[in-house]
Structure 1
Amino acid sequence: MKLLSVAIPCYNSAAYMSHAIETLLSGGDDVEIIIVDDGSKDGTLEIAKQYEGKYPNIIKAVHQENGGHGEAVNTGLKYATGLYFKVVDSDDWVNEEALSKILSVLREMVVNSEKLDMLISNYVYEKVSLNKRKVIDYKGALPEGRLFGWSETKHFRNSQNILMHSVIYQTKMLKDCGLSLPKHTFYVDNIFVYYPLPYVKNIYYLNVDFYRYFIGRDDQSVNEKVMMGRIDQQLRVNKFMIDCHDLTKIKNKKLRNYMVKHLVMMLTVSTVFLVKDGSQESLQKKEELWRYLEKKNKRLYQEVNKYFLGKSMQMTSWTGRRIIVMGYHISRKIYGFS
C-alpha cells in the first residue's frame, strides 16, 4: 500500500502540469500520483498517459468528462489507495525536501501505529512574475513536531486559516465521513478542507514550507476579476459551509471557534466582492447571504456577529461599504496577496 496519494486535477493544463508532477515524483514509491484529466481539450491527457507509461507503479492517468475541480478531486479520492491523501493543483508544485520530511513523519506514524487524521504544513504564495513570495505558517497556533488534539491549539491569526494547500488528510477518514464536492463549482477547495474538520481528532504540524501556490495567471480562479465574475459560485460554497455542520453543537470549544472564524472569513470575501461590484443586484445578494445564515441558524448568526468582521460586513450605508472595501485592500497588503 502507498503511503501518500496525491490527486492532481487537470483541465487544459498541458503547458504547466509537468512541474507539479516532477516535484512529486521525488517522493518515489511511497507516493501515488493520480492525474485526473477533467475533459481537457489540449494535450493534458496525452501528457498524463506518457507519465503513466514511464512510471506505472507511481502514476495513474484517469480521464473523465468535464465535471469541474470538485469532481476531479472526488475522482482522485475514489482511486486513492494511499493511507493519506493530498490535492495539488496542476499549476502549483511542492518543495522536494519538505516532501521528504513529510513522508518521514507519515512513515513514522505507520510504524508506531499512531492514528493521524490531519497533517498540516506551511504553504507559500509564489508570485513568480514579480519574484515575490509569502510564507504562511502556523507557528504559535499549533504545537510542532508531535501529535495533538484541538484542545491544544492556540490563537489562529487571521492569516493562519487552514487551507487545502496546507493539509494532508487520512484517506479512510475522508471516505468514511462522506466527503463529496459539488460538480461544476469553483472554490470547492474550501469545502474540501472545512467539511472534514469535526472528524479530525489527531493532528500533526510540521513546520516546513511544502506547498507552492502559484499566483499570477489572468484566468486563475483566484484572480480578483475572475472571482467577482463567479460570485454566485462563491455564494453556493458559502451556503454549503453554513449547512454542512451545526457549529453550535460542536462540543470542542477550540474547534468550534476555529470553524466559526473560518466561516466568517469566507463570508467576508464574498461580501467584499459584492460590495465592490456595488450594483443593486449585488447588494441584494449580500443581504440575502447574511439573512440566509440568520434564518438557517440563529445561534450561529449571533456567534458570527461577535467577530468584528462578521458585524462590520453587514453595514449598509455608503460609508460602511467604503470601510468594507478599504479593509479588504489593507488585508491584501498585510497578508501578501498583492
Structure 2
Amino acid sequence: MKKILSIVIPAYNVEKYLERSLKSFEVKEILDSIEVLIINDGSRDNTEIIAKKYCEKYPGTYILYNKENGGHGSGINYGIRYATGKYFKVVDGDDWLNTEELPQFIDILKKTDTDIVATDYLCIRDGTDEVLQEKYCTGSREQYGQVADMTKGEVRHVIKMHALTIRTSILQQNSIHIDEHCYYVDCEYITYPIPYVKSVYYYHKFIYMYRLGRNGQSMDIKSMQKNRLQHRRVLDSLLVFYKNLENIPQGSRRYIENCIGQVVENQFQIYISMGTDKTIQQELREWDTSLKKQYPQVYRAVYKKSITLLRKTNYRILPVGAVIYKIIKK
C-alpha cells in the first residue's frame, strides 16, 4: 500500500521531546497510510534509543536514519531523498501533530490532488502546554475548503513550514535542496518549491503543534543575534534564487517576494534588537540600501510600519527602536 504522508523529523538531541512527537502519530487507523522518517542528525543523547523503540514496534511506519551532524537543512534533504509518500511534511523533533485530527487529515490527503495542503497550527508554551497563539494558514476565511491558484496570485498569505504539507514529487523531481550546517532554513524549504506549485487547498483544522519558549531555540532573539550571519546567509541564498528565476507566472513571483520579504523583516528585527551599537546603524543602512538597489521588488515586499518608519528617517531612530524593543520583550 502506497503511503499517503511522509512525516520527516529532523532530530538533534531531542530526547526530552521526541517521545511526545512520535507518540502523536500513533493512531492505529492511519499507521498503514503514513511513514515517519526520523533523521537522527548525530545526536549525542538518547534520541536514537527513543526512535528505535518506535521503529521496532511499528517497522512498517517508523524508520530511523542515522547520519553525521549537518543541521536542520540536511535532515530535510535526507527526508526528501528517502520519502515515498504522496505528501511530505516536516515536523521538528520538539514539536508534534494534533493526534485527534490526524485521521481526518489523512483522509483529506487521500482525496485531494493539489500541490500543497495548507493547515492551521497552534503555538504552545514549553513546559506548560499553554496555547499562546492560534495561527491560520490564510487570512481569508472564505478560502477554507477551497483550492487557490498560486500562479494567478490567489495565495496571498505566506504558508509557513508548520502549515505546509507539499506533494513529495515536487521536491524530488525538481531537486529541491536546502542549505546545510545552518539555522533558519525553513524559509528556503517553503520558498524553493514555489515555481513548481500551482494549486493550494486550505484545510481549517489545527494540525501542527509548535513549541515555543525552549531555551536555545533558533528563533529566540538572543539566538538570532548570535547567529545573525547565518540568517544573512539564508537571506542571501534566497535572493540569489530570486535573481535566477525565469519565466514564472506573476502570481508565483509575487508570492516568492512576500516569502523573502518576511525574512528581510526578521533581519530587521535582529538589527533593531542590537540598535544601541553604533556600528549596527551603519551596517543596517548599507545593507538595506543595497537591497533596495538590487532587489527593489523584495524591498517593497516589507510591510511592517516600524520598518517603513526606520527607512523614512534614514535609520536615525534605530537606537530609540532598540530601547523600545527591549522594554517590550522584558
TM-score normalized by the length of structure 2: 0.87
Residue of structure 1 aligned with 2:161, choices 164, 167, 191:
164
Cα distance, 1:121–1:313 mapped onto 2, change above 3 Å: farther
Distance 2:221 2:102 in 1: 31
Q: C-alpha offsets along residues 201-226 of structure 1, whole Å, 9 cap, x if unaligned?
A: 01111000010000121111122211
User: Is the CA contact 1:143–1:153 (under 8 Å) kept in the aligned structure 2?
Assistant: no
How much has 1:82 moved relative to structure 2? 0.7
> One-letter code of the match for 1:257?
R
Partner of 2:108: 105
Tell me the equivalent position of 1:112: none
Matching residue of 1:335:
none
Q: Distance in 1 between matches of 2:115 and 2:259?
A: 19
Aligned to 2:25, the other structure's residue is in SS state helix
Q: Does the 8 A contact of 2:273 with 2:325 survive in 1?
A: no
The AA in structure 2 aligned to 1:289 is W
Using the alignment, how far apart are the partners of 1:179 and 1:78 within structure 2? 10
1:69 partnered with 2:72: yes
Deviation at 1:300, TM superposition (A): 2.6
Q: Give the Å deviation of 1:327.
A: 7.7
Structure 2 letter corresponding to 1:12: N
| 3-state SS, counterpart of residue 245 of structure 1 | helix
Number of the residue aligned with 2:23: 22
- State which of 195, 199, 214 in structure 1 corresponds to 2:196: 199
In the TM superposition, what is the alpha-carbon distance from 1:271 to its structure 2 partner?
Answer: 1.5
The question of 1:282 aligning with 2:251 is answered no
**Aligned length in residues:** 322
Contact 1:179 1:196 in 2 (8 A): yes
Deviates more, 1:240-249 or 1:261-270: 240-249
Match of 1:271 in 2: 268
Partner Cα separation in structure 2 for residue 102 and residue 329 of structure 1: 41
Distance 1:142 1:246 in 2: 34
Name the structure 2 match of 1:240: 237
Matches of 2:308 and 2:53, distance apart in 1: 53
Provide closer, same or farther for how the CA distance between residues 252 and 324 of structure 1 changes in structure 2, counting only shifts above 3 A: farther
Find the aligned partners of 2:286 and 2:41 in 1 and give their Cα distance: 33
What CA RMSD, in Å, does the superposition of the two structures yield over aligned residues?
2.7
* Secondary structure, counterpart of 1:7 in structure 2: strand
Distance 1:313 1:256, change over 3 A: farther
Residues 94-133 of structure 1 mapped to structure 2, 5 A cutoff: 94-109=97-112, 115-129=113-127, 131-133=130-132
Does residue 12 (structure 1) correspond to residue 13 (structure 2)? The answer is: yes
Aligned equivalent of 1:146: 146
> Is the 1:6–1:86 Cα contact (8 Å) retained in structure 2?
yes
Give the stretch that moved more between structures: 2-11 or 24-33. Answer: 24-33
Contact 1:142 1:154 in 2 (8 A): no
Once residues 155 and 245 of structure 1 are traced to their aligned partners in structure 2, the CA distance between those partners, rounded to angstroms, is: 18
Q: Which digits, 9 at most, give the CA deviation of each residue in 1:210-245, with x for residues without a partner?
A: 100001211111222112111111111111111112
2:175 to 161, 174, 178: 178
Q: CA deviation at 1:139?
A: 4.5
Alignment partner, residue 49 of structure 1: 52
Distance (Å, rounded) in 2 between the aligned partners of 1:250 and 1:68? 32
Matched residues in 2 for 1:72 and 1:302: separation? 31
Deviation at 1:136, TM superposition (A): 0.8
- 1:268/1:312 Cα in 2 relative to 1: closer, same or farther (>3 Å)? farther
1:135 aligns with 2:134: yes
Q: Does the 8 A contact of 1:304 with 1:311 survive in 2?
A: no
Cα 1:254–1:309 change in 2 (3 A) is farther
The aligned amino acid for 1:103 is: I
Residues 262-306 of structure 1: CA distance to partner in whole angstroms, max 9, x if unpaired? 322211111221232132443344234324434543x43564478
**What is the identity percentage for the equivalent residue pairs of Structure 1 and Structure 2?**
27
Instruction: Write the letter of the residue equivalent to 2:240.
Output: D
Structure 1 residues 63 and 251, CA, compared in 2 at 3 Å: closer, same or farther? closer
Shift of 1:308: 5.3
Alignment-derived partner of residue 93 in structure 1? 96
Q: Secondary structure at the match of 2:124?
A: strand
The two structures have a TM-score, normalised by structure 1, of: 0.85
AA aligned to 2:22 is I
Structure 2 alignment gaps of length 5 or more:
none
What is the CA-CA distance between 1:93 and the residue it aligns to?
0.6
Contact 1:124/1:212 (CA < 8 Å) preserved in 2?
Answer: yes
| Contact 1:68–1:185 (8 Å) recurs in 2 | yes
In structure 1, the residue matched to 2:85 is 82
